[in-house]
Amino acid sequence: MSVPEVVEITAETVLVGDVIQVGGRALVVADLVLTTRGGRRLEFATGEALTLHARSRLTGTRLSNRGRTR
């Protein structure tokens, strides 16, 4: 059974399926694109995007029994 857990999300640790609160809205990461200097562009299921720089830190939710996919 999947149990959601609160996790720190960085450009290194973000996974497809992570849920991140942005502007009071829960957005699901649908795709990841590597950017320069260790960053990642997160593309959400809504079609919106957000760039995480190498030192950015966010809090999000992840299902605990999922495998790591990048």
Q: Where are the domains of the chain?
A: 4-61
- Residue 50: which of 58, 64, 12 has the closest Cα? 58
- Per-residue pLDDT of 14-55, as tens digits, reads 999 999 999 999 999 999 999 988 899 999 999 999 999 999
Which is it for the CA torsion 7, 27, 3, 65, positive or negative? negative
In the chain, helix, strand, coil percent, each to 5?
5, 50, 45
Q: Is 5 in contact with 33 (CB distance < 8 Å)?
A: no
Architecture of the CATH domain 4-61: Roll (2.30)
Q: Report pTM.
A: 0.84
